[in-house]
Structure 1
Amino acid sequence: MTSTGLEAPTSLDLGSARALACRECGNKTPLAAEFACAECFGPLEVSYDFGSVTRERIESGPKSIWRYRDLLPVPSTVQQHPNTEPGLTRLISADRLAAELGVRKLWVKDDTGNPTHSFKDRVVAVALAAARELGFQVLACPSTGNLANAVAAAAARAGWQSVVLIPSSLERAKVLTTAVYDGALIAVDGNYDDVNRLATELAAEHEDWAFVNVNVRPYYAEGSKTLGFEVAEQLGWRLPEQIVVPIASGSQLTKVDKGFREFGELGLVEPTQYRVFGAQATGCSPVSAAFRDGVDTVTPVKPDTIARSLAIGAPADGPYVLDAVRRTGGAIGDVTDEEVVEGIRLLARTEGVFAETAGGVTVATAKKLLEQGKLDPDAETVLLITGDGLKTLDAVADHIGPKATVPPSASAVSEALGL
């Protein structure tokens, strides 16, 4: 059993959520702070009994992820408690980038506009809402950076204590943008996988700590569905033909897929065919390697890439990513660090969106998959940009800067511009 020993309230209000179901054997267990099946040790995810959900009810809801509260494992009173209110970020018609890549119609889902400038605000908001209902008192996580920001900010907003564990090599910008919230920030000598193992140990020792991506992971992961929900709603209540998603643990890709399927099953969109594509950095590409080799087992690797937010060498959802990509007829690719930087600059130059390294991975992988004939250039395509470039300035610092340094005269400027 994986129970923390925390005694949850006897009557839980987690909306339409009814149980936790094993993704391997299907065994169901009551809603609790559990993340592994007691029968086969497979991962658990939330199972629902959805009532009537209409487009009108969603559209009349708040301009945040809580417009989808009927489809999330959160209390019906979720809006009555302080939270960071993430979601409803821009879906940009990326015509100039489409022209550069040779795509008929391209959209960029720009999640840099969330409260701490990454999609992690979505998953943390759901985790916090569930953790409160489950009786926890401390919000915690192991993180490669974006999650650290989101947990520290959400805890501060809610008046909770936070405990955040990070690799000691994390980008300075992400360290500072976590430390500013004045929670307990602990740097650990080791990579993310080392930090994650430590978090699992601590979750077992501290019964009132909600490690969002450990003991309350089934609830946390559901927050990524809102990316899929928003894309479909913003497209006019329809599904895109193709979507490219960066892969770290792999949870985001699987939940976007789940969101599309749930919208179709509920009749909120026509359940049209779509293809899901995954993007990794070559220096941490175990899922891409498994896809390329045609195997179902994801072999862990030691990360070595500038895309640190994706640097998870043993991705928990790797096998389920393979399932989703293969089921939908998609593909998974990976790109070098040099290509990551090129992807960041290409998106910035064409669409005015400055993405962190994960965004560079997504753009560069989409470009490569198009060149390889795996992405259809005639199909409507969405790229997920999940974090802000201001968090990973070091990645581009050696590649960009002033075109010239001149004295304060108009003629000097003209000369520098070759006019």
Structure 2
Amino acid sequence: MTASTSTTRDYVPSGPFAGRFGPAIALKSRETGRLTELGPFSIDPETFGPLEVAYDFGPVTRKDIEAGPASLWRYAPLLPVPRTAEERPADLSPGWTRLLKSENLARRLNLKNLWIKDDRDNPTHSFKDRVVATALAAAKTLGYTTLSCASTGNLANAVAAASARAGIDSVVFIPENLEQGKILTSAAYGTKLIAIKGNYDDVNRLCSEIADDRDDYGFVNVNLRAYYAEGSKTLGYEIAEQLGWRLPDQVVIPVASGSLLTKVDKAFQELIALGLVEAKPYRIFGAQATGCSPVAEAFDAGWDVAKPVRPDTIAKSLAIGNPADAPFVLDIVRRTGGAVAAVSDAEIVAGIRLLAETEGVFAETAGGVTVANLVKLLDDGRLDPDAETVVINTGDGLKTLDAIADHVGPAATIDPDLRIFRQTIAAL
């Protein structure tokens, strides 16, 4: 693994994988900017901090992107993947999900202009299909024969399904207390599903050890993390393109590891640098659950680093007590004038119901976190009700039915009798 202190512009790609990741030319330390060659690396050996992908983009126009497929691969010239479909493994072509104009929810909350980016439309019904697509392409390029992950549920679904489509083996690790729906929908794809006694952070520690022990396992969120995380940029790209090639004024994003929020910001910055959108101020807000809110607590306290917590929330897909990208989330929300807030489990359920009842969008618990924080941030005066706002729904409520099982159900149970129906409906 070679290193350089040069800028991206001056850097000359080297190593066995140079030229094999499309526009990506190096891995870069997120702390120091130091560049290293492309490869199966996720940690800078000097700072022990995370690495991310650095690029030398060629000319890219709106017309080029618009001519691409209705999937995240329309942005292949901006991702660390081979440029042509023939060079990538067979995949489920996620992305290009709906950006829904909200009328009813906006009216309920007195918001002037609200959009819902609805990632339920992805093949396994969450945004994780995006990150797995870029990780899978990297795994093939790097020679891994088994795809793996540590997961709070949605990633397990996405890795299992993508591996089945690509025809490669997969081994997926989850906490044993996940929602039953996510366990079953992962196992259905034929993956080797390993449940671990402990929380996500325990699972992640074990996977890091296995990644060091097995050279055939490509862990999408461990040794492939630098490439995997870039898939989240496509949410930011799509929001801008679907708004008519412009950036929104403010965005509310759920925070688990924090990678999604940081990559949406990275997407906006890349679009500005490439001249694909006009530069403008925008604000980014992070959303957590109070049962696992290390980033929100750090933001409120003015810290630069989040203190690890033990998760205790119904929002299991966000239950990461030691989020890897917390310092970068804090940097971004402060730079953009945003905030990170948290809501209770009761507020999460209310958020799920509010979105479903007003817009017909049934979100999983992470979506409930986002909507409930939208309400809270408006009530606190931190969100501008007159600004164009986008909220991101990352997954489908059918995966987390347990969260609302005690809160919704039949309004009445009656005999098949017209007279009884008339009496009942009049009383409801």
Q: TM-score, normalised by structure 1?
A: 0.97
Query: Equivalent of 1:26, from 33, 36, 49?
Result: 33
Equivalent residue number for residue 68 of structure 1: 75
One-letter amino acid of the structure 1 residue matched with residue 288 of structure 2: Q
| Aligned residue in 2 for 1:412 | 420
Query: Could you tell me how far 1:10 is from its partner in structure 2?
Result: 5.2
CA distance in 1 between counterparts of 2:85 and 2:216 reads 20
Give 1:411 deviation, angstroms. Answer: 2.7
Contact preservation (8 Å) 1:242, 1:381 = yes
Query: 2:315 matched to which residue of 1?
Result: 307
- The CA distance in 2 between the partners of 1:180 and 1:413, in whole Å, is 41
Q: Does 1:363 align with 2:371?
A: yes
Q: Distance in 1 between matches of 2:17 and 2:248?
A: 42
After superposition, give the CA deviation of every residue in 1:73-112 in whole Å (9 maximum; x if it has no partner).
0011235531010000000001100111111000000000
Equivalences for residues 289-368 of structure 1 within 5 A = 289-368=297-376
2:404 aligns to what SS in structure 1? helix
Cα offset, 1:42, TM superposition = 1.3
Distance 1:413 1:111 in 2: 39
Aligned partners of 1:13 and 1:76 also within 8 Å = no
CA contact (8 A) 1:12 1:134 kept: no
In structure 1, what is the Cα distance between the partners aligned to 2:243 and 2:302? 33
**In structure 1, the residue corresponding to 2:52 is in which secondary structure?**
strand
Q: Which residue of 2 aligns with 1:40?
A: 47
**Which residue identity is paired with 1:30?**
E
Equivalent residue for 1:77? 84
Quick one: which amino acid aligns to residue 25 of structure 1? T
Matching residue of 1:5: none
2:282 aligns with one of 274, 284, 291: 274
How do 1:19-418 and structure 2 match up within 5 A?
19-78=26-85, 81-418=89-426
After superposition, what is the alpha-carbon deviation per residue over 1:121-175, rounded to whole angstroms, capped at 9, x for unaligned? 0000000001101111110000000000000000000001001000000110000
Letter in 1 for 2:332: A
TM-aligned CA deviation for residue 282 of structure 1: 0.2
In 2: Cα distance, 1:368 partner to 1:43 partner: 32
Count of aligned pairs: 414
Structure 1 distance, partners of 2:343, 2:18, is 48
Describe the SS at the equivalent of 1:177.
helix
Supply the distance in 2 between the matched residues of 1:204 and 1:81 (Cα, whole angstroms): 25
- Aligned-pair distance for 1:271? 1.2
Instruction: Report if the CA contact (8 A) 2:91-2:162 is conserved.
Output: yes
Matched-pair contact (CA < 8 Å) for 1:9–1:133: no
Give the distance between the partners of 1:282 and 1:411, measured in 2 at CA: 48
Distance of 1:158 and 1:409 partners within structure 2: 54
Give unpaired runs (5+ residues) of structure 1: 2-7
- Cα pair 1:111 1:387 within 8 Å, conserved: yes
- Structure 1 consecutive aligned stretches of length 4 or more whose deviation exceeds 4 Å: 8-12
Q: CA deviation at 1:407?
A: 1.2
Give the SS at the match of 2:253: strand
Residue deviations 1:334-382 (CA, integer Å, cap 9, x gap): 0000000000000000000000000000000010000000000000000
Distance of 1:236 and 1:47 partners within structure 2: 27
Answer yes or no: is the 8 Å Cα contact 2:89–2:136 preserved in 1.
no
- C-alpha displacement at 1:238, in angstroms? 0.3
- Provide the C-alpha distance between the structure 1 equivalents of 2:383 and 2:170, rounded to a whole number of angstroms: 42
Contact 1:9 1:135 in 2 (8 A): no
Contact 2:62 2:276 in 1 (8 A): yes
Correspondence list, 1:12-23, <5 A: 12-23=19-30
Residue segments in structure 2 that go unaligned for 5+ positions in a row? 2-14
Deviations 1:303-332 (A, max 9, x none): 000000000000000000000100000011
State whether residues 280 and 361 of structure 1, in contact with CA within 8 Å, keep that contact through their aligned partners in structure 2: yes
Shift of 1:413: 2.3
Task: Name the % identity.
Answer: 63
- The Cα of 1:25 is off from its aligned counterpart by 1.4
- Note if contact 1:9-1:134 (Cα within 8 Å) is conserved in structure 2: no
Normalised by the length of structure 2, the TM-score is 0.95
Secondary structure at the counterpart of residue 218 of structure 2: strand
Query: Deviation of residue 405 (structure 1)?
Result: 0.5
